[in-house]
Structure 1
Amino acid sequence: MSRIYSQAYLTAEASTAPEAIAQAGQLGYQFVGLRLLPNAPGGPHQRLLGDKAVLRECQARLADSGVGVFDLEIIRIGPAFDPTDYLPLLEAGAALQARAVLVAGDDPDLNRLSDHYAQLCALMQPYGMTADLEFMPWTAVRHAREALQVVTAAGRPSNAGILVDALHVARSDTSLADIAALPRALLHYAQMCDAPSTNAQGSSDLSVDDMIHTARCERWLPGEGAIDLRALFQALPPDLPISVEVPHHVRARAVGDLAWSGQALAASRALLDL
């Protein structure tokens, strides 16, 4: 079946927000993801918040291309979390008619994390976006079961969600049974990529630094690596939109964002559009 595909920020991370929107439309993506806040202090992101000219340009590119904004990045919930700090992101998301915001859990106190997540969901309700909690093995929400635990403890708000990333499934204590057990109402999209089973030194004993490096800098095209992507996506709903997230600093910079993102989309379709 034919799926809905979104170009993730990391797949075209050298591009500005307007450029990413135009490229996504040119390549045949239906949606695009934008990172409007850094994932760490000083981290890369796309300039838009507080810049009305860039917002208008993005809105014009969206109208011209027919592409929509799927997800915005990123909200991180730490121990001292105030959801109102993210109002500028939510306001931009509403202006762009975004569907989702990617959320990371950085608080090891899962009860407090759940309370803060519930507060975030309540604040986001009027903005029309889901709050999709992504489990990552180096964060406080390490695997799919913990993501479900947090969302359930928060009362499963109507805009709650769990984001499944193929890389984090493969490198965390998450089974296909865990994925199949996630309630359909909590699944709004999933992230696609591939990766090797070892680090650069050939060891399968991956450190946190190894995992973070791959996630942010060196993922492989779907079908090139060791992740059983067909089995994973068979465990997920067949109509789930796919965010193609394949950063590779060396290969992407060699050919440019447009060509690299096109390769990532073609490889994803080859695996999933059966």
Structure 2
Amino acid sequence: MSGNPRRREVRGLTLGFLSLGASAAPLDVLSAAAQAGFGAAGLRISARNPGDSWSRPNAEGDGLEQIRARAEALSIRISSISGYYVSDKTSLSHLLANVEAARRLGAPLISQGCFEPKLGRVAGLLRDYARAAADVGVRIALEFMPMSTLKTIDDTRRVIAESDARNVGLLIDSLHLARSGAGASDVRALDPRSIYLTQLCDAPAVRAPTTTLFDEAMSGRLYLGDGGLDLKGLVAALPPDAEIELETPVVGDAALPGGERAKRAAEKAAAFFASHFG
């Protein structure tokens, strides 16, 4: 075994739902994670916006206890959930539904995107949202994405500071980090306690000019080691016990069964960590 504290075996990694597609059903993600040897899974449990089509168990419906029971039977930890975005369509009640879903699933973390253009409203919602989450022992990982309202690390830190929430931190996605113009040195400069979740994928070093940021995020990601992002530098900049989730919806493998996609992600991740941190 390697003595490098940043070396990860597959069991020490999380399979993100997006690795199986944007609408991957929670039970399918759990099964795929177990088949591939992951120790944890991140699940989407509702549509991104209220009113959007979503046929899976969600934060306002039944089925969450079934998901929790299945995770326990498979010995898969539910590391985080994704629910409704903060947007102009979202009220506090929708965000509180995210909290209730996390509580019922036993998930300690909510992965939170933000597309509300009024940052003052974001801070106000976040203040009450975070308070409700804290009451049930849940934290919120706020994600910056160049195509969202929170485009950079600094944008995200400012809105967290304005909210005065103590249980809200950063979600760092390797692709969004690179496309925001930041890198490993910016991550290393952060208080490590502020980094709640890191999502890893690879991609070309430079985005193709004919591809939008959104399209690349959904269909341009690669397995670890298959692109040109500085993943080694990013992992080295993280605390050794960082929560790391794979988010690798590789389009070329989209037709494969979920378990096979998860196994390919696992094999590539194991090779990456062995090569760089072995």
TM-score by length of 2: 0.86
2:20 aligned partner:
12
Instruction: Tell me if the contact between 2:103 and 2:136 (Cα under 8 Å) persists in the aligned partners.
Output: yes
Instruction: Tell me if the contact between 2:35 and 2:263 (Cα under 8 Å) persists in the aligned partners.
Output: no
Instruction: Tell me if the contact between 1:48 and 1:55 (Cα under 8 Å) persists in the aligned partners.
Output: yes
- Return the letter of the residue paired with 2:174: A
Secondary structure of the 2:83 match is strand
Secondary structure of the 1:189 match is strand
1:261 aligned partner:
262
Q: Does 1:171 align with 2:172?
A: no
Structure 2 unaligned regions, length at least 5? none
Instruction: Tell me if the contact between 2:223 and 2:265 (Cα under 8 Å) persists in the aligned partners.
Output: yes
2:201 aligned partner:
193
Q: Does 1:122 align with 2:131?
A: yes
Aligned residue pairs total 265
Whole-angstrom CA distance in 2 between matches of 1:234 and 1:222: 15
Superimposed CA distance per residue, residues 137-194 of structure 1 (whole angstroms, 9 cap, x where no aligned partner): 0111101111111112222x33111000000011112233321222222212200101
Secondary structure of the 1:225 match is coil
Whole-angstrom CA distance in 2 between matches of 1:81 and 1:57: 27
Instruction: Tell me if the contact between 1:24 and 1:32 (Cα under 8 Å) persists in the aligned partners.
Output: yes
Whole-angstrom CA distance in 2 between matches of 1:36 and 1:22: 16
Matches within 5 A, 1:1-274: 1=5, 2-3=7-8, 4-13=12-21, 15-40=24-49, 42=52, 46-52=56-62, 54-79=63-88, 81-155=90-164, 157-198=165-206, 203=208, 205=209, 210-253=212-255, 255-273=256-274, 274=277
- Return the letter of the residue paired with 1:236: L
Runs ≥4 residues deviating over 6 A: none
Instruction: Tell me if the contact between 1:75 and 1:101 (Cα under 8 Å) persists in the aligned partners.
Output: no
- Return the letter of the residue paired with 2:146: P
Secondary structure of the 1:71 match is strand
Secondary structure of the 1:182 match is coil
Change (3 A) 1:179 1:151: same
Deviation at 1:46, TM superposition (A): 3.5
- Return the letter of the residue paired with 1:77: V
Structure 1 unaligned regions, length at least 5? none
Identity %: 23
Instruction: Tell me if the contact between 2:201 and 2:221 (Cα under 8 Å) persists in the aligned partners.
Output: yes
Deviation at 1:50, TM superposition (A): 4.5
- Return the letter of the residue paired with 1:268: A
Superimposed CA distance per residue, residues 188-238 of structure 1 (whole angstroms, 9 cap, x where no aligned partner): 220010111355xxx4x466xx22112112311111111010011111212
TM-score by length of 1: 0.87
Deviation at 1:268, TM superposition (A): 1.9
- Return the letter of the residue paired with 2:101: A
